[in-house]
Structure 1
C-alpha cells in the first residue's frame, strides 16, 4: 500500500489519527506533498513511517526546506509518482510536470482540497489535508493493488479517505 498525505501544518506533531494513522504505519511507502510546517512535525512523521518520501511546501520552516527537495519522483507499487507541493499553471502545469518525469501519478498539495483529475498524461492527485482542511473535507489517499486479482502491473486502485476511513472518492491508476 502507498499512503499519501499533504498539508499537515503543525508545530509539533504529525496530527495523524484513526485510519490515517493506521495507513501511515502500515504502508509500504508514504508520500507527503509538503507543508509539515515545522521540523518537529516532519520528524514525528518520519518516526511513524518506515519509508517516507516527502517534499517541502511553501509554509515549511527553513529547517524543513534544508532537509527536503522541492520535487521528487518515487517508484512504488508498479507506478511512477511525481511529487510537488504546488506547480504554477494549475492542472496543465501539473500534467506537464508529470509528463517531464514520466509519471503515472502526480501528487500535489497546497489547496487542502482532496481532488483527483484524470488527464491523458497522468492521474493528478491532491490528497487534501488530514489535519487542517480549511473548509474542505479532511483527507488523505491510499493506492493499493487491485482487489479483483488483476496483475498489479495493470495499475492500482486508489481512494481518498477521511481520517476516520470514510471513502470520499475512488479512482484507478493505470500503468503503461
Structure 2
C-alpha cells in the first residue's frame, strides 16, 4: 500500500519563524510518515510533530542541543514499503557529496538530509537518491522556503515534489 511522506529540515523555530507554514502543517496532517532532517532548535516543535504525526522519523542537527540531542539520533533508518530510508542532518560540501554518501550509506535507497537550506535531488552511481527538502522557514539564498512530499510504493520513491512556501 503506498505511503505518503512529507519531509522537512532546518526549521529553526522560534529563531527564524514563530511556527511552520500552514501548507506544511496541512501536509504533516495528511502524511503517513513525517521526516525531519534536523535543526529544530526548540524541543517544542518535536513534541508537536510527535503529537500530530502518524509516524515520525527524525534526527538532530548541529543547532540542536539538550533534550533534542537526548531524544533524537544523529542518523535514523527505516524501511518503508520496501524502500530503505536513512536520514542525517549534514553530508558535507556539495562537491563529492554523491561519492561520500554512497560510501557511507551502501545499504540505503534514499537519503534525506538538511543543513544547507538548499533543495537537492540527485542520484549516485550506485542508485542512492539524495534529497534535501530545503528549509520552510529560512530560505537563505533561495527564492522561497521549501519542503517536499513523496510517495513510497513497492520499493520506489515516486511523486517527489518540492513545495514553495510563501514569505
Query: Within 5 A, what are the aligned runs for 1:12-31?
Result: 15-31=19-35
Aligned position for 1:55: 59
The count of aligned residue pairs is 156
Asked if the contact 1:2/1:77 (under 8 Å) is kept, the reply is no
5+ long unaligned stretches in structure 1: 146-151, 165-176
Match of 2:43 among 28, 32, 39: 39
Asked if the contact 2:28/2:53 (under 8 Å) is kept, the reply is yes
Post-superposition, which runs of at least 4 consecutive aligned residues in structure 1 deviate over 4 A?
A: none
Secondary structure of the residue that 1:25 maps to in structure 2? helix
- Return the alpha-carbon distance in structure 1 between the equivalents of residues 123 and 79 of structure 2: 19
Q: Deviation string for 1:68-113 (max 9, x for gaps)?
A: 00001122233111110013463322222221xx111011000000
Aligned position for 1:139: 146
Q: Normalising by structure 1, what TM-score?
A: 0.80
- Return the alpha-carbon distance in structure 2 between the equivalents of residues 56 and 120 of structure 1: 28
Greater relative contact order, per chain length (Cα 8 Å cut-off, separation 6+): 2
- Return the alpha-carbon distance in structure 2 between the equivalents of residues 130 and 15 of structure 1: 10
Query: Within 5 A, what are the aligned runs for 1:73-84?
Result: 73-84=77-88
Q: Normalising by structure 2, what TM-score?
A: 0.84
Secondary structure of the residue that 2:100 maps to in structure 1? helix
Shift of 1:31: 0.7
Q: Deviation string for 1:110-149 (max 9, x for gaps)?
A: 000011011123110000001112122311111115xxxx
Q: CA-atom RMSD, angstroms?
A: 2.0
Asked if the contact 1:128/1:139 (under 8 Å) is kept, the reply is yes
- Return the alpha-carbon distance in structure 1 between the equivalents of residues 68 and 155 of structure 2: 36
5+ long unaligned stretches in structure 2: none
Asked if the contact 1:30/1:49 (under 8 Å) is kept, the reply is yes
Aligned position for 2:129: 123
Q: 1:34 to 1:154 in 2, by over 3 A?
A: closer
